[in-house]
Structure 1
Amino acid sequence: MNDNRTTDPVALAAENATLRIAVAQLVERVAELEQIADTDTLTPLANRRCFLRELQRVARQVSRYGHSAAVLFIDVDGLKAINDTYGHSTGDRVLIHVARILRERVRGTDMVARIGGDEFGVLLERVDADAAREKALALSSAIADSPLDSIAVAVSIGMAPILPEDHDEATLALARADCDMYGTRREVRLSR
């Protein structure tokens, strides 16, 4: 067998240094790609993929340690009408505006994500249902009190606690929050 590898210590050290640089560059690139894969392309928020992974993690903690947590499902009201009236670039600005307000109004440990076209999710760790409802009302008010230019922006928010049994299928909590949001929206329409 003819082995063409060198045994020269200087050449080996140079080759080793070259390989270390290549590995470091690959590790950096993988981190960049993971960041891209977990980030919404319009807003500076996490995307649905990242949100669902974190929701699963929190659901396991709730199940294992008994921590309380909740998820908020947020829908921007009338985005289609905004797009139709002012154009899609304005609709995009509304989504960015809502994303900024949500991110600014939650704790650093909470997660805000854009989980669909005009839908956002907020993952609240270590909060009970009452505190989560208060946060939902505060977020809704903050958005309503902050029009974008002259455009009124409103959201509907549903809340669901993350239950210990959600550890196998954490998306059930998100589905419950979605249903709660539609119930809340229906109640607002009936009271007008």
Structure 2
Amino acid sequence: MTEPKDTEIARLRGRVAQLEARCAELDRLAHHDSLVPLPNRRGFLRALELGIARVVRYGEPSAVLFVDLDGLKLVNDRHGHETGDRALIHVAAMLVSGERSTDCVGRLGGDEFGILLDHADEQSAAETAARLVEMVAGERFEIGAATVPLSVAIGMTMIEAGDTPACVLARADQAMYRGKVAA
């Protein structure tokens, strides 16, 4: 005996809804970091690709900041990896709180983060980077009775027509290392 047509359609719609929910969950897992509530490298590169397209289409300046958390290995060695993870989560929350809701903060891997600043000229991007450096350095990160100093190094680059996400990140990463060497 076959099911009535309406029952079969309802069953298939339910199955489609389950599959769509599963696809959305797989997309989230593929594009979001498992430790910090941010896009992972793949998710950030996807946002950066869209940002480059907006720069090309509308001519609005945008920038990328490459953020490196200084001394995470030392925190891990002295206080354990759980404390290092807490430091990463803490810095990620500060970076998000220090940005506009239209900007994208992502974890690129390890102790590195990327920030896509839409509609930001070079001066405002440099000011944002300096503000974030001061914010992280001024924040107290406590482990029991001890306070662990945190700091970040930030490199900045403007997005240019013809850029690829990899090219933009490489320039921002190089700017961050130049800043570390000069400091």
| TM-score, structure 2 as length reference | 0.94
Cα shift readout 1:75-97 (whole Å, capped 9, x = no counterpart): 00011111111111111111000
Contact 1:55 1:171 (C-alpha < 8 Å) held by counterparts = no
Cα distance in 2, alignment partners of residues 52 and 158 from structure 1? 17
Q: Note the C-alpha offset of 1:170.
A: 2.3
**Who is 2:44 aligned against?**
51
Q: Note the C-alpha offset of 1:165.
A: 2.1
1:22 to 3, 8, 15: 15
Residue 46 of structure 1 aligns to a residue whose secondary structure is: coil
**Who is 1:100 aligned against?**
93
**Who is 2:68 aligned against?**
75
Q: Note the C-alpha offset of 1:64.
A: 2.2
Cα shift readout 1:114-136 (whole Å, capped 9, x = no counterpart): 00100000000000011000000
Cα distance in 1, alignment partners of residues 125 and 57 from structure 2? 21
Stretches (4+) displaced over 2 A: none
1:1-192 equivalences under 5 Å are: 6=2, 11-149=4-142, 150-166=147-163, 169-188=164-183
Cα distance in 1, alignment partners of residues 81 and 62 from structure 2? 35
Cα distance in 2, alignment partners of residues 13 and 143 from structure 1? 59
Cα distance in 2, alignment partners of residues 114 and 170 from structure 1? 15
Q: Which protein has the larger Cα radius of gyration, Structure 1 or Structure 2?
A: 1
Q: Letter of the aligned partner of 2:53 in structure 1?
A: R
Cα shift readout 1:6-52 (whole Å, capped 9, x = no counterpart): 5xxx7111111111111111111111111111110100010000111
Cα distance in 2, alignment partners of residues 165 and 17 from structure 1? 48
Q: Note the C-alpha offset of 1:54.
A: 1.1
Contact 1:133 1:159 (C-alpha < 8 Å) held by counterparts = yes
User: What is the RMSD of the two structures over their aligned residues, measured on CA atoms?
Assistant: 1.2
| TM-score, structure 1 as length reference | 0.90
The count of corresponding residues between Structure 1 and Structure 2 is 179
Query: What runs of 5+ residues in structure 2 fail to find an aligned partner?
Result: none
Cα shift readout 1:92-115 (whole Å, capped 9, x = no counterpart): 111000000001110000000000
